[in-house]
Amino acid sequence: MIRGVRGAITVLENNEVEIVSATQRLAREVIKENGINPESVASVFISVTEDVNAGFPAKALRQIEGWSLVPVMCMQEIPVPGSLSKCIRIMFHVNTDARQEDIKHIYLEGAKALRPDLLKSNNRL
């Protein structure tokens, strides 16, 4: 069963060092909290707000040991009312037997779910 595991984090500056560091911190937290093995990941989808360089988060994942071959797609979001600024969102598509309600979604540094109905899952803010 493929499950979606979400996470988001905000950054203060749009520079490579901060974005790579924040993305790796978020990814490691999501991986740790859900026991994700890179071999169980079908793909990773990253979206960033328009004020964040879209290339840096994908680069950050490639630098984590064992993640160099995981398919990653990164895009910039079209702003919507109420959107955060300088936000990185990650969705891991994981092959797991875990029930969706047991998945831990991680939101760090003031980030939040893009849609309030997504907060029904088990989240750590």
Catalytic sites, residue numbers: 6, 62, 74, 77, 89, 107, 115
Distances in whole angstroms, Cα of residue 72 to Cα of each of 13, 23, 110, 116, 120: 23, 13, 24, 25, 26
| Angle at the Cα of 54 from the Cα atoms of 45 and 81, rounded to 5 degrees | 80
Question: Tokens 């955060």 appear where?
Answer: 84
Indicate if the alpha-carbon torsion angle 89, 42, 96, 58 is positive or negative. negative
Question: Tokens 């680069």 appear where?
Answer: 59
DSSP character at residue 56: H
